[in-house]
Amino acid sequence: MDHIDRDNYLKTYWNLYNIPAEVRSLPKGVQGVGTIGATWKRDQAYVPPHSAGGGKQTYTLHLYALSVVPEIDASRGPVTREGLLKEIEPFILDSSDLNVTYQRPREDRK
């Protein structure tokens, strides 16, 4: 899941890969499914939508169907969005994006 912020910087909020083919949903708080990669906050596995500023913000979830389970080397730390896309690109059969919007509650805006 990523978002382009007001400074036109792409931020990755959630980077989950190697999700088994039989998984049909990811309930809130799910753990132990797939492999967690890097977010824009390198020490966090998931960053909830929280964009500053007024108005609705759009977040995009990307899903890729692959022809094989790629062997991704995470020995040097969590895999970034860019690194993951580079590794899976040759194996992408299809993809889909889901755009969701979020607006901070008024009392949370600073």
Q: pLDDT (tens digit, 9 = 90+) per residue, 44-55?
A: 888 888 766 668
Q: pLDDT (tens digit, 9 = 90+) per residue, 2-25?
A: 998 888 899 999 999 999 989 999
* pLDDT > 90? residue 98: yes
Give residue 77's pLDDT.
86
Beta bridge partners of 73: none
Q: pLDDT (tens digit, 9 = 90+) per residue, 71-96?
A: 898 888 889 999 999 999 999 999 99
Domain count of the chain? Answer: 1
- The runs of H, that is alpha helices, within 1-110 are 81-88
Q: Domain range spanning residue 98?
A: 2-108
* pLDDT > 60? residue 108: no
Question: Concatenated DSSP letters for 34-53?
Answer: SEE---SSTT-SB------S
**Tokens found for residue 96:** 């889909």
* pLDDT > 80? residue 105: no
Handedness of CA 109, 104, 62, 88 (dihedral sign): positive
Tell me the pTM.
0.84
Question: Which CATH number goes with the domain that contains 51?
Answer: 3.90.280.10
How far is it, in rounded angstroms, from Cα 39 to Cα 12?
5
